[in-house]
Structure 1
């Protein structure tokens, strides 16, 4: 159903909406006046929106009565509500926790979500290993390891890892290499590893270096400087000059890291400062992180408030309530995946969050921090003036520094907002240009593109990339392994992908534009497939690549222009696959050229990457089938011992044979094959 105001619905829609409201109001009459959570659902039973309420009846009544007074955003949501569910809780605080969990699990389109396509790096230490090492990972798992981050600034991770790898002699090799090497590697020779793989190493010495690294990652640089200096002097007194020199280098590196911090406070305090910037449709947040009195980084987020909760008291302007809802949702979602520091300053919170909600959020964060009401030391969620007074510091400049940090956080939030608006403007210009070029009735907010990748008919795969609002939506990307096609047949592969993508046509999101990497033949095939599926209303087109002209006598390399291929349609919009499609030239450098070629190239990159991964994986496996004397059991044992088969090229063959119980001559055959 199209999003319209209720006043503009045709008679059939009015009848449908009227009967739906009658059903929802009857259902509403049966629920109790209790706190809880409500879940709005669409016609397919999918959750549209999750909200909490102090009184479920009053909150839900505000949706289904007085609709003519709703804001356009609320009307757009109500038009899609076909049903709702409620979950009753003991109190409003429990409803806050439940709402947060349900939003995180279901990710409804109309809720405020801290969405981010980027995966920021973490620094991981697996303390369950006998000799733990420090690595950089992109995903945080519940595996008992220590994780630090995520680091939004890549340079910060590089700086920390360079310091750790260069000055702290911890293990750096993979578990497989660690178990199978015959001698310590080059890292031992250059004094960057103690060599526990083959040498007897003092466990306490290794743990001391590891604990220093953990303290640095926790921002406790000052304590570590004192500790390292003491150890260095003791080593020098004991005439252990080699160790003293290593500690001296560590001391110098950590000191330099500490000096590089942009702001240092006189008090060793842990604070998060929440800055914000607001507009009618967008809220920008910036969280400045201070640990042990030093600024160590910050996170920025953009939140679109695409819906509004109607006011329970009939007010039309409920801006203050909306700001409070967004601020509360942001705080709860942000700290559901972050460590809560001892102190948090809500910049301008007293102007946004009322005392009742403030206490609920404070309770939530205290529980996340691991403190209860009986503890004397509690997290502070205060404005900057109350916070600085609570420190009782002798440093008279400290309040001014805190105030500057608050201004800095708010300014960063404003900068994030401005950056987002500029990017949105660029994307909107591209989309508007494409709309005009293709003569579409609406702006193409969702564009999907498909590409086929194969090599002589083997390992044929397809990619599906999705651009939303002119930007890649990587969480929506899909990979397809072509199953029904034997040999090289791009047309049959394309038919299979389109059939699989749109097989459940009643329960899928239809893109505004479907882009195919190809020309007239591909467009004809897709046209027949969509017509057969009953989806001929979908806007689709082909993008034919430019081709170099084969004229070897000419000193100038000339190429044809990029062009789009648009299927022929009848008077009523029906597809005519038999009729030659229309071809239009894409002017190089134009907005539509930039957008369409970017989407096509991304689909090509994604398909090629997936194809190479499958081909490389199967190539390694196929090598094993060619080796005489390597049966199923030996093959299984080899792959279990060395998951990355290429590792064995650099290992001692005799040790591989002893470990796997595979004859030495067979191991030699495998290595020779791998090298070739």
Structure 2
């Protein structure tokens, strides 16, 4: 436990101006981000007598090892910078709202040439218009099915759209009038985009004018005795009204507003939001958070506003935001919301009438959500704490292993050897820290050598060395999606001596810079010995190692002849099993993906100097490998971009390739017919490999 006086800034060093500050721990990791109207006054509160601090604040300042700050011009800039840093560093002591479930949204991909209406979950993407969230996906599909009669926007996937364009026939929805069929040219891209915009306007609550326009059209058609068109418009009006009836009217004046309510106790808080558009409840969502810092209701509201509108489009911010308590001070938050929307936003507490009654309903939902969450999680907190304590006691650790990393090796009879690393912090999976490796030094069925290589590569940064990480080193975000990371190389900047860990240009510790308290390997004594030997070679002696053997679920320690046997009912054993099984799942998924890519190959892949562009041009020109193989060199030269020398190389490569199972187009995933081999042949071959 650090003494805050050891890193307290000197008197007069902190400026008396608005700004944002960061507390870092001994590893250089940002553990708390805050903003202040006066940095000097705010930071002085952290360096008072520890007995006068809130327990959670006291824990934060004793965990920290340094503090730094950035001066800004206004409090609005401080609010925006605080949100940006919280999203970037994910500090452990800041309020973090967790959705109590994964909410589906109705999304319109306006960023595409032909926008598509679909159900989406997870992180929001730029250029996509979202409506919701909804309680159930089926509610979205029912609404869309009613609206497609009036707004026949494309709903098919990219594969179906491309296939219909190739064969010149629309899908079923195009035949029954629930799609404008832009795939076959029934409507132009601009007309289809305009149709999608009208769909968005209707979903945003601008319904009255559109229905009145349809009613006028119906009357004009009837007067002109075009009864079929009048009947169609009548049915369209009925479909729109049925879609509107699915959301209840709560405010009579067609108000656009978001209502936020908070239910809290000393440890946790639940936030509920009702999205009201056009006087109707268009969506509802909820968050739950641990109160890891001393916060008021106004502070919780401010954090909720940051999370709710921080990454939204400006038009997602309504004219009114109704809250149970105002942030202090309120003016910067109101200015920030106004800047996000581009026009005035009213941030206030409802005092009377329908809005106050609706706020009471939102508050009841928040209270119920908090009660349900505490019922579910009460046992989880106790169980996780007991599991970590049992592991520490069984392995003889000085403290409970708050960060556990588990490694597993996967291969198929010595081919495509890969490894995985999963991370559990406080007994919970931290998917953003997951990594996967491709074994480079050798290929074969030697899990011991593979484990030694992976442990060495992972911990070389901790030992102060730099090595080139594998190109397929991948991290996984909290939604399970993967994103490539930048591998650390010999040209990276020197470590920051103050942080004691490798840092990047912004002063943030690089990935792999945070050591675990416990390393778990999937295997028995040989794998454990290999992992321990890799750490010893790097001079690392402050990381514990153990292995979990699958057969008898025995826990092996380095240099011990006998395993540690935990009771079957042990919570510690159950946690180790979860960690090991997650590592096995992650490694197996990566190994299968590499094997699938290897199977999806064709003789053209081996032609030197033939890139993807010309390879696809050849396949498109001839239609199949069979026809390409039968073509002459002169015929191959007719393909744009293919010279005679390349044509001769292609012809020679195809002449030497024995036709077998059909190849797969790596760009489209479609089977390329060759020598009449049916697609089933490839499926059967893959089934045998599995």
TM-score, L = length of structure 1:
0.74
CA distances 1:94-116 after superposition (whole Å, capped 9, x unpaired): 43333233333333333334456
Structure 2: distance between partners of 1:65 and 1:443:
30
Gaps of 5+ in 2: 464-500, 502-512, 626-635, 664-671, 683-690
Bigger helix fraction: 1
1:335 pairs with 2:309: yes
1:533 pairs with 2:538: yes
Question: Contact (CA 8 Å) 1:563, 1:586: kept in 2 or not?
Answer: no
Question: Contact (CA 8 Å) 1:273, 1:289: kept in 2 or not?
Answer: yes
1:194 pairs with 2:180: yes
Question: Contact (CA 8 Å) 1:463, 1:603: kept in 2 or not?
Answer: yes
User: Where does residue 110 of structure 2 map in the other structure?
Assistant: 127
> 1:159 offset after TM fit, Å?
4.3
User: Where does residue 614 of structure 1 map in the other structure?
Assistant: 594
> 1:323 offset after TM fit, Å?
4.4
Question: Contact (CA 8 Å) 2:452, 2:530: kept in 1 or not?
Answer: yes
User: Where does residue 595 of structure 1 map in the other structure?
Assistant: 575
Structure 2: distance between partners of 1:638 and 1:228:
52
User: Where does residue 40 of structure 2 map in the other structure?
Assistant: 57
> 1:280 offset after TM fit, Å?
2.2
Structure 2: distance between partners of 1:640 and 1:141:
35
Aligned pairs for 1:87-126 (under 5 A) are 87-114=70-97, 122-126=105-109
- Root mean square deviation, CA, Å: 4.2
Select which of 354, 362, 383 maps to 2:349: 383
- Where 2:334 maps in the other structure, the secondary structure is helix
Aligned pairs for 1:410-449 (under 5 A) are 410-421=367-378, 423-432=380-389, 434=391, 441-449=398-406
1:362 pairs with 2:302: no
Question: Contact (CA 8 Å) 1:49, 1:108: kept in 2 or not?
Answer: yes
> 1:276 offset after TM fit, Å?
1.0
1:346 pairs with 2:326: no
Structure 1: distance between partners of 2:678 and 2:100:
37
Distance 1:230 1:214, change over 3 A: farther
Question: Contact (CA 8 Å) 1:233, 1:244: kept in 2 or not?
Answer: no
> 1:164 offset after TM fit, Å?
5.8
> 1:157 offset after TM fit, Å?
4.5
User: Where does residue 23 of structure 2 map in the other structure?
Assistant: 40
Distance 1:213 1:70, change over 3 A: same
> 1:272 offset after TM fit, Å?
1.3
Distance 1:523 1:359, change over 3 A: same
Question: Contact (CA 8 Å) 1:277, 1:414: kept in 2 or not?
Answer: no
User: Where does residue 461 of structure 1 map in the other structure?
Assistant: 418
Structure 2: distance between partners of 1:263 and 1:594:
49
> 1:475 offset after TM fit, Å?
1.5
Select which of 496, 499, 507 maps to 2:453: 496
User: Where does residue 430 of structure 2 map in the other structure?
Assistant: 473
User: Where does residue 633 of structure 2 map in the other structure?
Assistant: none
Aligned pairs for 1:656-667 (under 5 A) are none
CA distances 1:483-523 after superposition (whole Å, capped 9, x unpaired): 22223322221112211222222643333432222223222
Structure 2: distance between partners of 1:488 and 1:600:
20
> 1:431 offset after TM fit, Å?
4.2
Distance 1:219 1:523, change over 3 A: farther
Structure 2: distance between partners of 1:290 and 1:208:
25
Structure 2: distance between partners of 1:40 and 1:68:
20
User: Where does residue 30 of structure 1 map in the other structure?
Assistant: 13
Distance 1:636 1:207, change over 3 A: closer
Structure 2: distance between partners of 1:641 and 1:138:
39
Aligned pairs for 1:118-267 (under 5 A) are 122-127=105-110, 129-137=112-120, 144-148=127-131, 153-160=136-143, 168-171=151-154, 172-174=156-158, 176-177=162-163, 180-201=166-187, 206=192, 209-220=195-206, 224-227=210-213, 239=226, 241=228, 245=232, 251-261=237-247, 264-267=250-253
Range with bigger deviation, 86-95 or 286-295: 86-95
Select which of 266, 291, 310 maps to 1:280: 266
Question: Contact (CA 8 Å) 1:451, 1:516: kept in 2 or not?
Answer: yes
> 1:450 offset after TM fit, Å?
1.7
Question: Contact (CA 8 Å) 1:543, 1:600: kept in 2 or not?
Answer: yes
Distance 1:232 1:633, change over 3 A: farther
Distance 1:47 1:270, change over 3 A: same
User: Where does residue 515 of structure 1 map in the other structure?
Assistant: 520
User: Where does residue 486 of structure 2 map in the other structure?
Assistant: none
Distance 1:409 1:111, change over 3 A: closer
Gaps of 5+ in 1: 7-16, 309-320, 372-377, 389-396, 547-561, 569-575, 650-656
CA distances 1:235-290 after superposition (whole Å, capped 9, x unpaired): 77675848955x66655554444333356433321221111122223222121222
- Where 1:608 maps in the other structure, the secondary structure is helix
> 1:463 offset after TM fit, Å?
1.6
CA distances 1:321-364 after superposition (whole Å, capped 9, x unpaired): 654434323323332123211111112x16xx45xx12232222
Distance 1:250 1:584, change over 3 A: farther
Distance 1:154 1:483, change over 3 A: farther
CA distances 1:421-447 after superposition (whole Å, capped 9, x unpaired): 454345445445555665655444333
User: Where does residue 13 of structure 1 map in the other structure?
Assistant: none
Structure 1: distance between partners of 2:83 and 2:355:
36
Question: Contact (CA 8 Å) 1:520, 1:565: kept in 2 or not?
Answer: no
User: Where does residue 654 of structure 1 map in the other structure?
Assistant: none
Distance 1:138 1:615, change over 3 A: farther
- Where 1:297 maps in the other structure, the secondary structure is strand
CA distances 1:209-248 after superposition (whole Å, capped 9, x unpaired): 4344213432445555555555566677675848955x66
Question: Contact (CA 8 Å) 1:302, 1:417: kept in 2 or not?
Answer: no
> 1:567 offset after TM fit, Å?
0.9
Select which of 600, 621, 637 maps to 2:614: 637
Distance 1:450 1:301, change over 3 A: same
Question: Contact (CA 8 Å) 2:133, 2:285: kept in 1 or not?
Answer: no
Distance 1:613 1:74, change over 3 A: same
- Where 2:67 maps in the other structure, the secondary structure is strand
Question: Contact (CA 8 Å) 1:169, 1:194: kept in 2 or not?
Answer: yes
Question: Contact (CA 8 Å) 2:286, 2:366: kept in 1 or not?
Answer: no
